[in-house]
Structure 1
Amino acid sequence: MNRRQMLRAALAPALVVGFGTACSEPQPPGRTDIVDPGAPASATPSATPSLPSAPLTGLPVSAAPVAGRQALAVPIRVTRSTTPAGLGSADLVYAEFAESDTLHLTAVFQSRDAAKIGPVTEIRPVDIRSLGVLRPFIGYDGGPPNFRNQFEASGLAGVTPGDDEKVFGSDHTSTAALWKAAPKGGQPPTQVLDYGTAGTPLAGRDLVPARELTVAVAGGPPMVWRYDAQKSVWVSKVGTATVTATSVMVLTMEYRTIDIRHPSYRSLPSAKVFGEGAAVAVSGPSGAKGRWRKPGQDLLCNVMDLGGELLHPLPGNAWVLYVPTSAKVTIR
């Protein structure tokens, strides 16, 4: 039972079920059960223990201890010519539309390993605000003093090349290196999406067939996701790499401009992750409009249909796109 389901169960009315005691019929007098000595007596087969599900995908893990390990997170900067590494192993990816037609990605790893992740970039407010509820260990490449101060105040833990250069190599890192650098005792992340089971629709209302999702943001080419029905995944291009996702959540929000003065002056667009707004989601061959709400850093971002019920994406990896209110999002 996931944490969302546990909470709902605690709030629901109690249901008491009685179980009767099974009784066997008495054997007739003089009856003897005979077992052929040449064949072993049959034993009741023991049930094969099922593996727990990964909290960030809802899929069974490769080994039971994997479900209980701490998540890792890595900010990655992607331009049109970048070939990002490791995204195929990420359970969850947050994407902010950054300056100069780039993406600032926050890749989260928990259930799968990645031998190479990067290029690793600086920490930004969007990373801190997205990751606070997950409490991961973060590998990042420094950042402006104000951003580093926000990170330290958040209580999140991480490592930079300046802290331990052995964790990084040529602007890249790996899950093995990050888990080795992480302090002991880290807790697994909370579940962020309410995964559906077989036959559960993505939304309780306004569900539409979907084969293509387009996100058009001013200043760059549109991001297009297309559904591959044979593999049951959504496919897109990020930099020069092809990426796939079981589900894509598009959250519309305000962006503000942050002026950085040290070590040099620059202006950065920054998504306002706290609050609420319109949402569009696709998972499997279905799409739906809805709303999102995230009250604060240590609280979940709930994505709901237009009736106020949580969306139920299929188990698997997910991408969450933070798009400005001026963006045009279409499903067809």
Structure 2
Amino acid sequence: MNRRQMLRAALAPALLVGLGTACSEPQPDTGSVDVVDPGKIPPTPAPSPTPSLPAGPLTGAPVSAAPLAGRQAVAVPLRVSPSTTPAGLDAADLVYAEFAESDTLHLTAVFHSRDAKKIGPVAEIRPVDIRSVGVLHPVVGYAGGPTGFLTQFEKSGLAGVTPDDGDAIDDGYTSTAALLKAAPKGGQPPTPPLDHATDGAALAARDLVPATELSVTVSGGPPMVWRYDQQKSLWVGKVGTATVTAASVIVLTMEYRTLDVRNPSPRSLPSANVFGEGAVVAVSGPSSAKGRWRKPGQGMVCTLADSGGDLLHPQPGNAWVVYAPTTAKVTVK
């Protein structure tokens, strides 16, 4: 081998190394960064589910804050004439309506899931208030009443607040906050009075019909007409001069009797007999159903069943329960 051949043989490995380095991808300088195998990257943790809020016992709908579900209810009787502008009804979860004397309504408004800053005008206590809300365990704000009615209230075991008890009722009006503050400690939440629909269940298992209007006509009483607002999915009516809405309106037909009271002033009052049983007509959502109601006594919930005996399931939301005399005309269109 001559000198030129010996030099070529010595340079060949160096050229191969140089060419290999020149043709390969430049390697990044990772420094102190840890390189992780993509196959071992832990999955992104799923977001924690939003805690579901409990349903209000009077509405069947989730409350705005969990503590509300466990607090005591507030009940207030109101007397409403065609010229009265009642306050607070828009916040009531449940309203019972009795046809009273002189073209008026005696309402029992029950508040639980929402607060009302002004409720009134507060009326006297009547037997219908005691018999309607006894199972709900509310504190009742009322403006006195005939001696016999006051005795019935005392025997009922319900907590009561009157204008004589501090300033919870002032100039005929009150609020949920004022009544709860004045109530005895240890009040319990209400028993659910209705079997509300869940998962989109229908109002009734049978004889369900579409409905857009409900009217209750009573001789000598104020007209009561409810119409369905499809956009809001609510029934809209008028009480006094106020427009009111409800997810459900339930009409219970029952006997009325006349009560003669002596103290503090002699007079005769119509009174709905809410214990017993009778016909029921209910509207909820765009539907109506008929059936029977039954309430054996003070401590019992009023059950509502369709024509086959299965429970009615009003849609979640506030409700009005109308006590219609047997002579009333109840019409659904």
Contact 2:236–2:244 under 8 Å retained in 1: yes
Alignment map for 1:46-65 (pairs within 5 Å): 46-65=48-67
User: What corresponds to 1:34 in structure 2?
Assistant: 37
Query: How far apart are 1:222 and its partner, in Å?
Result: 2.3
User: What corresponds to 1:267 in structure 2?
Assistant: 268
User: What corresponds to 1:74 in structure 2?
Assistant: 76
User: What corresponds to 1:138 in structure 2?
Assistant: 140
1:151 equivalent among 144, 150, 153? 153
Inter-partner Cα distance in structure 1 for 2:178 and 2:38: 59
Q: Provide, for residues 197-238 of structure 1, a one-character-per-residue CA deviation record: whole Å limited to 9, x for no partner.
A: 243111111111100001000113421100000000001110
Query: How far apart are 1:162 and its partner, in Å?
Result: 1.2
Inter-partner Cα distance in structure 2 for 1:33 and 1:276: 74
Inter-partner Cα distance in structure 2 for 1:273 and 1:87: 22
Query: Secondary structure of the equivalent of 2:274?
Result: coil
Contact 1:89–1:112 under 8 Å retained in 2: yes
Cα RMSD for the two superposed structures: 1.7
User: What corresponds to 1:112 in structure 2?
Assistant: 114
Query: Secondary structure of the equivalent of 2:136?
Result: coil
User: What corresponds to 2:259 in structure 1?
Assistant: 258
User: What corresponds to 1:162 in structure 2?
Assistant: 164
Query: How far apart are 1:175 and its partner, in Å?
Result: 0.6
Q: Provide, for residues 70-107 of structure 1, a one-character-per-residue CA deviation record: whole Å limited to 9, x for no partner.
A: 10000000001100000000000000000011000000
User: What corresponds to 2:96 in structure 1?
Assistant: 94
Inter-partner Cα distance in structure 1 for 2:50 and 2:110: 31
User: What corresponds to 1:223 in structure 2?
Assistant: 224
Q: Provide, for residues 39-94 of structure 1, a one-character-per-residue CA deviation record: whole Å limited to 9, x for no partner.
A: 98622432221011101001111111010001000000000110000000000000
Higher helix share: 2
Amino acid at match of 1:83: T
Inter-partner Cα distance in structure 2 for 1:174 and 1:199: 34
215-224 or 40-49: bigger deviation: 40-49
Contact 1:35–1:41 under 8 Å retained in 2: no
Query: How far apart are 1:163 and its partner, in Å?
Result: 2.0
Alignment map for 1:253-332 (pairs within 5 Å): 253-332=254-333
Query: How far apart are 1:264 and its partner, in Å?
Result: 1.3
Query: Secondary structure of the equivalent of 2:293?
Result: strand
Query: Which stretches of structure 1, 4 residues or longer, exceed 3 Å deviation after superposition?
Result: 32-37
Contact 2:104–2:222 under 8 Å retained in 1: no
Query: How far apart are 1:182 and its partner, in Å?
Result: 1.2
Query: How far apart are 1:157 and its partner, in Å?
Result: 0.5
Contact 2:82–2:222 under 8 Å retained in 1: no
User: What corresponds to 2:7 in structure 1?
Assistant: none
Query: How far apart are 1:272 and its partner, in Å?
Result: 0.3
Contact 2:234–2:285 under 8 Å retained in 1: yes
Q: Is it true that 1:179 corresponds to 2:180 in the alignment?
A: yes
Query: Secondary structure of the equivalent of 2:322?
Result: strand
Inter-partner Cα distance in structure 2 for 1:221 and 1:106: 17
User: What corresponds to 1:208 in structure 2?
Assistant: 209
2:131 equivalent among 129, 132, 135? 129
Note the residue ranges of structure 1 that are not aligned, 5 or more in a row: 1-31
Inter-partner Cα distance in structure 1 for 2:88 and 2:308: 37
Query: Secondary structure of the equivalent of 1:133?
Result: helix
Note the residue ranges of structure 2 that are not aligned, 5 or more in a row: 1-34
Amino acid at match of 1:190: T
Contact 2:96–2:323 under 8 Å retained in 1: yes
* Count of residue pairs brought into register by the alignment: 299
Inter-partner Cα distance in structure 2 for 1:225 and 1:240: 14
Query: Secondary structure of the equivalent of 1:132?
Result: helix
Query: How far apart are 1:169 and its partner, in Å?
Result: 1.8
